[in-house]
Amino acid sequence: MEEVELLEPRQIVKAKNELFRSRTKSTNVLAARIFMAFASLVDEEDAQKGQYKKVSIPASSVLPESVVGGKRYQDISKAADVLLEQKLERKLGKNGFAKYNLFSSIKYEDGILTGKIDSELLPFFLTAKEQVGLYTRLNFEQYVKLPSSYSQKLFAFLSSWKSNGTVEVSLDELHDLLQTPESFKKDFWQFRTYVLNKAHSDIHEHTSLRYEWEPVKKGRKVSHLRFVFDKKRRELVTKKQEEQNQAHTHEREKKAFKICTACIKKKAYSCSEQTQAKYICELCRTKFFRDYFLKQASLLDL
């Protein structure tokens, strides 16, 4: 019977950039943690030989202790299914691709996960000294704290580009990498709010990776996103975003004021029902606006 060593995941996952820029269709957070935990244990010697020994890790290294009993079993079982069924896919040129199995086997028993990364993935872990700049050192201890698939994938992807200072990615490529729903592809506001801004917040809270991002437009439509890692350039992006936010807020308030004044004038400065958007009516009911309207009613002509 094969002897299997029980190990704690290492702090760093060291692999070629391609591994962190490849995509999987999975959005299972635990499955991604398990894969990275085993990936951290791949040795250079394993990669050179093309043989990865089966190893075990404590389930507690990838799953919070608060998850216990049947819930713990169900979560791990579901993650194991994902790891055995999902493929890692990378592009080859404009019209080609390569797909890889993640694990050849995985087992869970008595709080211990035992698995074997598929041998076809081992070339991703050949990181010779002369390949500096072509591989990434991903902090697993930080990665495992990330709460969503979006923040996990973006953290790994951006970590592989960090040394470049900046990277520009097409919106289509990013949606494909993150496996976002159709509604986010059609509505950039949703994508910005629920993916980009949330992942940015998670990554800054739980990891040491620092970056800012800005949209790049082709005509009036956002076509790419620019991610900036250099500190001075990050500060410029932040300043630009603050100015844009202030301008947007000013325009929104100006528009709301015009709607409020037109509405209350139409109602002869007496309102008994909500006929506008909720935030417009709430604004109109504030003491400032009510006092202003009462004092300036005869002068309003907006």
The pLDDT tens digits of the residues spanning 10-59 come to: 999 999 999 999 999 999 999 999 999 999 999 888 878 877 778 999 99
Q: How many domains does the chain have?
A: 3
Query: Final residue of a domain: which of 144, 162, 185?
Result: 144
Give the DSSP letter string of 232-267.
HHHHHHHHHHHHHHHHHHHHHHHHHHHHHHHHHHHT
| Residues 140, 165 share a domain | no
| Residues 271, 210 share a domain | no
| Residues 172, 57 share a domain | no
Instruction: For residue 98, give its domain range.
Output: 1-144
Count of Cβ atoms closer than 10 Å to residue 152 Cβ: 23
Query: Final residue of a domain: which of 179, 198, 229?
Result: 229
User: What are the distances in angstroms from CA 299 to CA 120, 258, 280, 295?
Assistant: 77, 14, 21, 9
Q: Percent of the chain, pLDDT > 90?
A: 55
Query: Final residue of a domain: which of 177, 209, 229?
Result: 229
The predicted structure's pLDDT at residue 47: 79
Each of the 302 residues of the chain gets a pLDDT tens digit; together they read 567 889 999 999 999 999 999 999 999 999 999 999 999 999 888 878 877 778 999 999 998 766 667 788 899 999 999 999 999 998 888 889 999 999 989 999 999 999 999 989 988 887 655 566 789 999 999 999 999 999 999 999 999 999 988 999 999 999 999 999 999 999 999 999 999 999 999 999 999 999 999 999 888 899 999 999 987 766 776 777 666 667 666 677 777 777 777 776 776 666 667 777 776 777 776 755 666 655 555 444 44
